[in-house]
Amino acid sequence: MTQQLSAVAAAKARQAQYREQTYESDSNDEALPESENEDGQFIPKDRRLSQSDLNQTMADITAMEESDEEGADAEVPIGPRLAGPDLELSILDPAHATFQSKVTTNLARKEVHVYPSDRIAYLGVYDFRVMAGVVAICGAALASNPTRWFRVHAFASHSLPVMSLMAGGSRGYAIVEFACPIDAFPDDACPRKQVTMRILQKVSSNFVNLWIPSSMAKVGKNQPPITFGYLHKSIDDPLNRRPTAFDISKPWATIAENLTRSLGNARYPVVLICGGQLGQNSLFAQILTNNILSRQEDEDRVVMFLDLDPIHPDYGPPGQVSLVMVRSMNFGPPFIHAHPGVGDQNTVIYSHAIPKYAARDDPDQLLSCAKHLYKMYVALKDGSESTWGPSKPSILPLVIKTPTCFRAYGEQALTSLLLHFSPVLTHWYSVGPFPYFDDYKPALKIPEVKLDGLTFANGLLLTSETLFEMQQQAYFHAEQTLSAHKKWNCEPLSLAAPYTVPYTGNQPGFLAIHLSGDFRWPHRLHDILNGAIVAITIIQDLEKFPTARIKSSEPSGIPYLAPDSLGIHPPLDPHNSSTIGFGYVQSVRHAECALDIVTPIARDIMEKLPHDRIVLQVGLVPAPGWAYLEAATLAGTVSVPEDEEGEIMETDKMPQAWVRERGRGGTTVLNSWLGQSAKKARAP
């Protein structure tokens, strides 16, 4: 692990001349957040761009509506080739693949015959369907179904998914058709929204150099570019990234298959995954979840996923633990699913916001949330047809992913989890060491626990902190869509249209601010909120909530939950609260006594919020330094703005950017959580 991180640090040092942002090596996955000052408080958002800079950036975004997204992408090699072995990614006879480009539908397709000796690993974003035979990819066993398409996000930041043959039938090979997503190409109607996530590199250098390079994407004149490419060896990558292959070894596949078969024999089919290093728990959870979904006989295939990792969750933004109903196969890194339920068939059943380092600093809070989420699972598992309807699955397996840090100091928390989740059918034991577990095993008295140790090479090319930021950015830039696939936008958070939420008056937009930690300066509450990320939490029963502790900060007048008699801020009771998502406090309006909050939560949900039972939790995650840089980053990647008639726009004619939603027909001001809006004409 240390040797790998040293290589990453050396590579990132060479990136400084190509990128505006320099990364620092993170040799400790659980390092304290660097976005806190020496007092332990979050850095306030006091570094704002000038109005002229904001106007110019807003004009740049408007100009993008008439520009080609793909043409603006900049690609540079990461630097000299990294030292290390030249890994073989794919084994494919060129005679087994035929390529066709259908310009009329903007769809490039490739039909591949997969033989027993073939291994296919593409880099980029692509769709595929199995025309004949059975293939395996990321733990899933996919049989022939020409009507069912799957989407794969294979980025250079993670190991590339590998497809291989499982059964070829009488032919001796499988037939798979690969295609470029038709909705991955720039749309003249909404050029700021794409499904490839490539658009996020316009506002963040974290997403630069993750995709197929332009040299591999060109097909011919007047033909659409290709979104994925074939790499035989890691050294063949033109950008010198040295990608690795997500090739599942036979022991891993055997364990996943055995677990899947044994789940049907238990009343509460639970698999608990723990003990891995950075990325290992997520990879095995992905393998197991895909294996269960692909082998279920029910048409309504469901896997319940209990994500207890607030730093690197598989489904959802950082800073929360959640119970997710998974219906879609997982063929991408975790930040693809940062907003479950948008562009996929997954559903968040319940979630709780907790501090980023709760597993280390407050394991009791993590356990309390985990027990409540497990209670919700049991209620669903034992629910009648009135709960599920006629589509209740025959089995409802639960996959529990624990935090990586449990491997270091989570023996008591792990023991409590196993005791509470009893009967646990199987406990998958990853690479150790877990020397203390033998001491606790006799006390558990759970004969169903099985320990299997496995090791594998970590394919992550980014540090823990960079992945944390990417997960946050993917969440806040998720676009609400009715399509079957996800989309993202590149509008900086500092320029996005916010909800203007009053905190005083006859109808305030929320009940109080809840602070995490030992915050003791109420007069600085407005500084803490400005530029912070808040968890939007609903209180179920106000009679069980300590409303007597709600005070008004001076001089801002913002209501907050005062500390208890011991001077600390106890966490919210998970049995009386639920988190629906996160928001970014764009600004604190002192004159209007309101907060400007940007959130990707669907508008219909926001309009139904019970504002008298809303609590905003702050201090759970570090202040988002990346959000301060998005507007400046975007301003350096787009051309000079033009108005609708092709004339250069004067900066003093640009609208006030951060309180309105851009649109050619005017701008929209959002006045409250209730979603009230008023049309305002474009500035003359």
Number of other CB atoms surrounding residue 562 within 10 Å: 16
Fold of 250-473: Rossmann fold (3.40.50)
pLDDT at 487: 82
Calculate mean pLDDT across residues 276-286. Answer: 78
Angle between helical axes of 625-635 and 464-476 (0-180°, round to 10): 70
Our CA angle for 216, 219, 224, nearest 5°, is 105
Calpha distance 600→614 (Å, rounded): 17
Structure tokens at 434: 């877990």
DSSP string, 170-226: TTTSEEEEEE--GGGS--TT-TTEESSSGGGGGT-GGGTT-S--HHHH--STTSPPP
Task: Tell me which of 85 and 582 has the higher pLDDT.
Answer: 582
For residue 585, which amino acid is it? V
pLDDT at 561: 92
Residue 678 contacts residue 611 (beta carbons within 8 Å): no
pLDDT at 195: 60
Highest mean pLDDT among 31-35, 222-226, 433-437, 512-516: 512-516
Calpha distance 410→426 (Å, rounded): 19
Residue 420 clears pLDDT 60, i.e. is over it = yes
Residue 144 clears pLDDT 70, i.e. is over it = yes
Residue 149 contacts residue 127 (beta carbons within 8 Å): yes
How far, CA to CA in Å, does 493 sit from each of 160, 184, 496, 582?
A: 31, 23, 5, 13
Fold of 94-191+208-246: Jelly Rolls (2.60.120)
Cβ partners under 8 Å of residue 50, min gap 6: none
The ranges assigned to domains in the chain are 39-66+492-684, 94-191+208-246, 250-473
Alpha carbon dihedral 111, 113, 118, 119, in 10-degree steps, equals 30
| Of 211-215, 452-456, 490-494, the least confident | 452-456
pTM over 0.85: no
Q: How confident is the model at residue 428 (pLDDT cuts 50, 70, 90)?
A: low
Angle between helical axes of 250-263 and 280-295 (0-180°, round to 10): 50
Cβ partners under 8 Å of residue 254, min gap 6: none
Fold matches, 94-191+208-246 and 250-473: no
Residue 510 clears pLDDT 50, i.e. is over it = yes
Task: Tell me which of 422 and 58 has the higher pLDDT.
Answer: 422
